[in-house]
Chain A
Amino acid sequence: MSKGFASNYRVGLLAGLILFGYGALGVRLVWLHVIDRDHVLASVEMVRREVIPEYARRGDIRDINGELLATSVSRVEVWADPRIVRPEDAPKWPELARLLQVPLAQVQKTLTTKYRTVAQAQAGAPANLVLNFDIGKPAEASPPAVDATDPAAADKDNDLDEPDSTGRRPIKYARFKATVSQDVFAQILKLGVRGVRGDSTHRREYPHNEAAAHLIGYVNEMEQPANGIENYANFFLRGQNGWVETEKDGLRHELAQFRTREVPAADGYSIVLSLDSTVQHLAEAELEIIYQKFRPKRAAIIISRPQTGFILALANYPTFDLNHYNEVKPSEMASMQNIAVSNLYEPGSVFKIVAASGVLEDGLVTPDTLFDCNIDKIDYKGKTRPLLHDDAGDHFAGPIPVWKIISKSSNRGAVQLAMRLGDERFYHFVQAFGFSQPTGFPVGGEPGAAALRRNVPEPGTNRWDDLTITRMPAGYSVAVSPLQMHQAMSVIASGGVMLKPQIVKQVKDASGELVYRFDRMEERRAISERTAHTMAHLLQGVASEEGTAPAAAIRANGIDYEVAGKTGTAQKPMPVTLASGKVVVRYSEHDHVGSFVGFFPASDPQVVISVVVDDADEHFMGKTAYGSLVAAPSFHHLGEELIPYLAIRPPSSSANLGRSLLALEGGRR
């Protein structure tokens, strides 16, 4: 047998080489994996490891019919790195400008401005503004760091670069436009302009623009909810961000096979409101009509379901566009105030429902009990008190019954009703109707309990003087919010129960499954059902030909829809400068808040509507802007529109009869 290749020497050499190779590999592996492990791993971790956040999508806000009121859509923030822009791409810039919808000059300036000049340090200021930046120093005290005209002036990333020897700082991030859609960005990428990049982000959009702006609220640029449902329900809406631990290659592309941990983002829950977009539109359209007709300073409309307390619409004038909240001028910031919830006003005659309900509840009077409303002063608790005049006419033909005190809105009659109750008992009913305490409405910035108590005098305190009992029953010397007054009227419509006003109806998860449902919430019984029905009947007289607001009555196809409500006209307390230069607050003869708060059909209330118009007097050339003139017609108009939309059935004759009988029964007590 031939020895062949396998001589002892060669075989030994080959085996030695192989073993040496293996040995060397083993040594190297031990070196890398044991001895130098930490150093190598640190380098790898630093270079390759990456944690990619997965942003949760904020939940939608929908109305009761599923209409989108607020949603999050994917957007791309387009920016440029001017350092790597190629001159040969210049012919593509006009198309880029067209896609971005910005002037070509702006695109040219952004792409060609490769440096920004650092403002020369002020005398004694540190040379390196970045390194010597004092976080604790107020912004206005800091020297200007960049030229404000520079396109990249506001870009934070650029501050990380130190200026060169000439004092210039390279721009590596210059924002073109806040956001564009993904489709537009795809077209931009197709253009192939080097240096133009984009970051995906979610942007909050409000498809209905101004609709229900004060209720929905908005999310600002920092993704922080500012107010409204966006803020109140942020816990449900925001969701939970996720992340992916992975590695990337030298080109910063993710190596998906090296994903070690994935925590998926949990999208936010959706909020379903009790709001009805159509009803909201009707309310806002009505406010527009009010503005066109009367030019008031402010106005508000609230529409709700009396049997559940759920709000169908809540509209304010002035308002703002949720998609352009940041364009509201400082001088117009009042337009962002939810005046229906946060504004306090003296309600005037609408407040008479409290005293009237109180005396009927306590059985002190019947609807036919007579009161002399021609007197101008009255003795009460050993003192003679002056009475307010009556707009309806200071001279009635003799004593008038309680039902006429309501329908004619007699101030003097209302005061005498309250005096029958006495201070303490009257205040009890003021509280029972929800005044002096928050309604608990979750959005709109309702004043706190302390602020509300301050505006509702309490017997036995220094805010309750000798004149309070002659003013408060007629809606003066007391300040309430439109929503509080709306809720007080809802007590009568709901059969005497105070319900919590609610706007959030349901919470649903990202897949649309119901998570939580809000139902009618009873706060307390304010008055008995019998009293509530009697009051509903008496309030029908207001919208009759003999009442103060016949314009509020609704007749369709010859059917009376039994409007029950109350007008309110209150002088506004305004600051007046005396001849001595002293400024005092007095009731103005030229500034009024006119309102109408009511519901229908009185026998089976389906909807409660409040219309409050603040200071429409200028339109009336110095005359009073009565609630019957500025608010009652809007109530009527809204009611007519709501009847077909909400399928409000006309009251049945049997119900009318029952109501009448009930009222008569109450009258016999």
Chain B
Amino acid sequence: MSATNNRAFVNQVVIGTLVAIGVSGSVGIGSVWMRHQISVTAEANKAIENRLAEVERQTQQTSTWIAEEEDITALLKRNAEWRLGLAAPQDGQIQRMTEDPVAYHGAKRDRGLLQDRALLPNEAQPVSFRVAMQR
């Protein structure tokens, strides 16, 4: 093998080696970058999970506080402390209805509308209204 060929081969080896180093280095850096991104993402996920858990905890705590404040004994105590004078309705104060209250109030409102229209001449036709029923 001639010296020129030797040098050319060595140059190729050096270049190839440098390229290999460059490529493997790039792959390594890429791998490290990817791992870092995985780590960052995982940590971000963990932070979100922790935040969710914290919100859930706060919700539970708040629900418990509300339940404690809604305790009848606590409400009666507040009623006395703040002199609100609230009391449960007595039977005499209750108007009992034998029909559906929504339909009753709808009909009551309709009666008013019909009376208004009855003032107009030649408006004797019956008017119907649809009342939304929600159960």
Residues 41-95 of B at the A interface (beta carbon under 8 Å): 41-43, 45-46, 54, 57, 60-61, 63-64, 67-68, 70-73, 88-92, 94
Q: Given known contacts A73-B61, A181-B61, A281-B72, is B13 in contact with A643 (CB within 8 Å)?
A: no
List chain A positions with a Cβ less than 8 A from chain B: 1, 3, 6, 8, 11, 14-15, 18, 57, 67-68, 71-74, 181-183, 205, 207-209, 211, 254-257, 259, 277-278, 281, 556-557, 640-641, 643-645, 649-650
Closest-CB distance, B82 to chain A (whole angstroms): 19
Give Cα distance in the complex from A254 to B46, angstroms.
Answer: 10
Residues of A within 8 A of B91 (CB): 556-557, 640, 643-644
Closest-CB distance, A303 to chain B (whole angstroms): 15
Residues of A within 8 A of B61 (CB): 73-74, 181-183
Judged by DSSP, the binding face of A is: mixed
How many residues on the B side are at the interface (Cβ–Cβ under 8 A)?
35
Q: Enumerate 9 A-B pairs (CB-CB under 8 Å) in ascending A order.
A: A6-B14, A67-B70, A71-B60, A182-B61, A207-B71, A255-B39, A257-B41, A277-B72, A644-B91
Give Cα distance in the complex from A254 to B50, angstroms.
Answer: 13
Give Cα distance in the complex from A72 to B63, angstroms.
Answer: 10
B130 at the interface (CB under 8 A from A): no
Judged by DSSP, the binding face of B is: helix
6 shortest interchain CB distances as A-B pairs:
A207-B67, A256-B42, A68-B67, A257-B42, A556-B91, A257-B39
B11 at the interface (CB under 8 A from A): yes
Give Cα distance in the complex from A308 to B35, angstroms.
Answer: 63
A644 touches B38 (CB 8 A): no
B108 at the interface (CB under 8 A from A): no
B13 touches A208 (CB 8 A): no
Q: Given known contacts A256-B39, A644-B90, is B64 in contact with A68 (CB within 8 Å)?
A: yes
**Residue from B42, B45, B71, B94 within 8 A of A209 (CB atoms):** B71
Residues of A within 8 A of B71 (CB): 207-209, 211
Give Cα distance in the complex from A182 to B60, angstroms.
Answer: 12
Residues of B within 8 A of A649 (CB): 96
Residues of A within 8 A of B41 (CB): 257
Closest-CB distance, A155 to chain B (whole angstroms): 26
B29 at the interface (CB under 8 A from A): no
Residues of B within 8 A of A14 (CB): 14
B89 touches A644 (CB 8 A): yes
Residues of A within 8 A of B67 (CB): 67-68, 71, 207-208
Give Cα distance in the complex from A227 to B67, angstroms.
Answer: 22
Q: Given known contacts A71-B60, A209-B71, A557-B92, is B11 in contact with A257 (CB within 8 Å)?
A: no
Residues of B within 8 A of A256 (CB): 39, 42-43, 45-46
Give Cα distance in the complex from A645 to B88, angstroms.
Answer: 9
Closest-CB distance, B96 to chain A (whole angstroms): 6
B2 at the interface (CB under 8 A from A): no
A205 touches B42 (CB 8 A): no
Give Cα distance in the complex from A209 to B67, angstroms.
Answer: 11
Closest-CB distance, A561 to chain B (whole angstroms): 9
Give Cα distance in the complex from A15 to B13, angstroms.
Answer: 8
Residues of B within 8 A of A278 (CB): 72
Residues of A within 8 A of B26 (CB): none
Give Cα distance in the complex from A11 to B18, angstroms.
Answer: 13
Closest-CB distance, A295 to chain B (whole angstroms): 22
B134 at the interface (CB under 8 A from A): no
Q: Given known contacts A67-B70, A644-B91, is B39 in contact with A11 (CB within 8 Å)?
A: no
B7 at the interface (CB under 8 A from A): yes
B128 at the interface (CB under 8 A from A): no
B125 at the interface (CB under 8 A from A): no
B64 touches A205 (CB 8 A): yes
B31 at the interface (CB under 8 A from A): no
**Residue from B13, B42, B73 within 8 A of A281 (CB atoms):** B73
**Cβ-closest chain B residue relative to A256:** B42
